[in-house]
Amino acid sequence: MLKPHKLPFMEAEQRVSPLFVLTARALAQVRLLLQTQGVQSYCLEVHARPAACKEMEYELGLVQTPSADQLCWQQEDIQLCVSLQSARYLLGASLDFVENAEETGFKFTNPYVPAGCDCESPHSGRC
């Protein structure tokens, strides 16, 4: 079950749904990582930032204690946290774990990523 979080600038009674969700495969993989690392109480920390016009960069990590300025919530038995800067890029996204002949690893599906242009700019995500 997903537990909602409160944004720091919202009134106490206002609640929103989680910024993003993990698929069943991603949940299983995170559980496996926590188990193999022997760190059951850690939090999955996600950072997101624009890369090129049509792309986002994501960074995943495990932290024992999220910082005070992060948004945190729980999906089933997995704790998740993101910075306020990353939050705006993750709203409505989902994190999956794929394993096939072409790729293996975590993969975001993100409605934030715009159609963009075709300039292939390696800069701040803007043309």
CA 117 to each of CA 69, 124, 125: distance values in angstroms, whole numbers, following the listed order:
33, 13, 10
Question: Tokens 């960074």 sit at which residue?
Answer: 59
- Give the chain's domains with CATH numbers: 22-109 (2.60.300.12)
**Is residue 57 a contact partner of residue 91, using CB atoms and an 8 Å limit?**
no
Cα–Cα dist 63/11, whole Å: 28
> Could you tell me which of 98, 95, 101, 97 has the C-alpha nearest to residue 80?
95
> Which pLDDT tens digit goes with each residue over 9-20?
443 333 346 889
Predicted confidence (pLDDT) per residue in 34-49, tens digit: 999 888 789 999 999 8
Q: What is the pTM of this model?
A: 0.73
Min mean pLDDT across 79-88, 99-108, 116-125 is at 116-125
